[in-house]
A = this chain, B = another copy of it.
């Protein structure tokens, strides 16, 4: 059994039971809704307790429940350049702002990177009379290149 099969089953049950991510994330709890959703989509792992709730919601069998607790082979996109417009816009930001981020982060912090591992993220609706905005706040620990 592969992780993709669990993802597909979860999406199917979600659809048939008319569940929302808000409800699901609320019931599973224990960490950010972003992380839970990512785990159910096969990109993060759940704890044993979280997986037990997920098993209950999505009627998962033992192996499926265990798979949710395993670290997946990450990478959620079928192509190197994503074709879905919503996801592509984020790729576009990397393409357009990549060198800018590099210059500004390295001037401020020195040689290193913003971690994508020691990392967190919040998504919030930002009401705006001209049309509500999606606000994403990401924060990653700065990791300096080690000199040796």
Contact = CB atoms under 8 A, between A and B. Distances in A.
B15 A63 contact: yes
Nearest to A110: B71
A81 to B, nearest CB: 5
A98 interface: yes
18 contacts: A22-B107, A34-B148, A43-B96, A75-B84, A76-B97, A77-B83, A80-B81, A81-B81, A82-B94, A83-B92, A84-B98, A117-B144, A118-B131, A119-B146, A120-B146, A131-B142, A134-B139, A137-B138
B63 A86 contact: no
Contacts of A108: 123, 125, 134
A74 B95 CA distance: 8
Interface residues of A, number: 97
Chain A interface main SS type = mixed
Interface in A91-148: 91-109, 111-121, 123, 125-126, 128, 130-148
Interface string A64-90: 001100110111111111111111111
A141 B112 CA distance: 14
A36 B25 CA distance: 32
B145 A44 contact: yes
Given A43-B100, A85-B96, A108-B125, 20 more contacts: A15-B63, A20-B107, A34-B148, A35-B147, A37-B103, A38-B96, A43-B96, A44-B111, A45-B111, A73-B99, A75-B82, A81-B81, A86-B113, A89-B115, A101-B136, A109-B134, A117-B144, A120-B146, A130-B141, A134-B142
